[in-house]
Amino acid sequence: MTFSLQELSDRQEIQELLAAYSYAIDFRDWDALDDVFTEDATIDYTEAVNVRGTLPEIKAFLARSLTGFLSIQHAVSTSRIVFEGDTAKGRTICFNPVVIDQGNGQTHVLFAGLWYRDTFVRTARGWRIRTRYEEKSFLHNVPPGFVPGASPTVPGAAAAAGSKA
């Protein structure tokens, strides 16, 4: 394969965009996602957590649903990007271990494997994701009672909160 300098630059910008998404999610910096997606973006997590929406809707969902995770790491790699002028289609692997708080100092590590299927668009502010579809590959070490898309709760927390009322 031979790439022009412009295509090399475009590929690097898109790789930086994928890393920016990972950092925004892992460090719970929801507003940083504004620099990753277009204003009219559609983000589809239906295979994993049955949620699809606009950027503001997804930011609110993530803020709610990730509270029970102590640590999250999105390791993205092996991107395949095909350019068509000022747009591009991409497919990228993500390996995503998450640490779930089980209360009393106990944790549980869940592993997720997925593919991001993205449509990128060149904007005045650089490359952005216009559509993202998260394709589930696998879940490993899923704790009993885990509900994808719902924030894991510490066992007994609901009962303790109810007893204080």
The CATH number of the domain holding residue 130 is 3.10.450.50
- Structure confidence at residue 151 (pLDDT): 62
- The one-letter amino acid code at 110 reads L
- The one-letter amino acid code at 159 reads A
Q: Residue 158 domain-assigned?
A: no
User: Residue 29 sits in which domain range?
Assistant: 5-64+76-91+114-135
5-36 confidence digits (pLDDT tens)? 999 999 999 999 999 999 999 999 999 999 99
Split at pLDDT 50, 70, 90, the class of 147 is confident
Residues 42 and 45: their CA atoms lie apart, in Å, by 10
- Structure confidence at residue 32 (pLDDT): 98
Q: Residue 11 domain-assigned?
A: yes
- Structure confidence at residue 129 (pLDDT): 98
In 3D space, the residue among 30, 111, 117, 35 whose CA is nearest the CA of residue 73 turns out to be 111
Mean pLDDT of the chain: 90
Q: Residue 83 domain-assigned?
A: yes
Split at pLDDT 50, 70, 90, the class of 157 is very low
Q: Residue 29 domain-assigned?
A: yes
Q: Residue 22 domain-assigned?
A: yes
Q: Tell me the mean pLDDT in the region 40-57.
A: 95
Q: Residue 35 domain-assigned?
A: yes
How would you classify residue 34: left for phi > 0, otherwise alpha for psi between -120 and 50, otherwise beta?
alpha
- Structure confidence at residue 164 (pLDDT): 38
Q: Give CA torsion, residues 63, 98, 111, 55, to 10 deg.
A: 20
Q: Residue 38 domain-assigned?
A: yes
Q: How many domains does the chain have?
A: 1
Pick the residue with more confidence: 155 or 40?
40
pLDDT above 50 for 145 = yes
pLDDT above 60 for 88 = yes
Split at pLDDT 50, 70, 90, the class of 159 is very low
Tokens encoding 35: 């620099």
pLDDT above 90 for 75 = yes
Q: Residue 154 domain-assigned?
A: no
Report which DSSP code applies to 47.
H
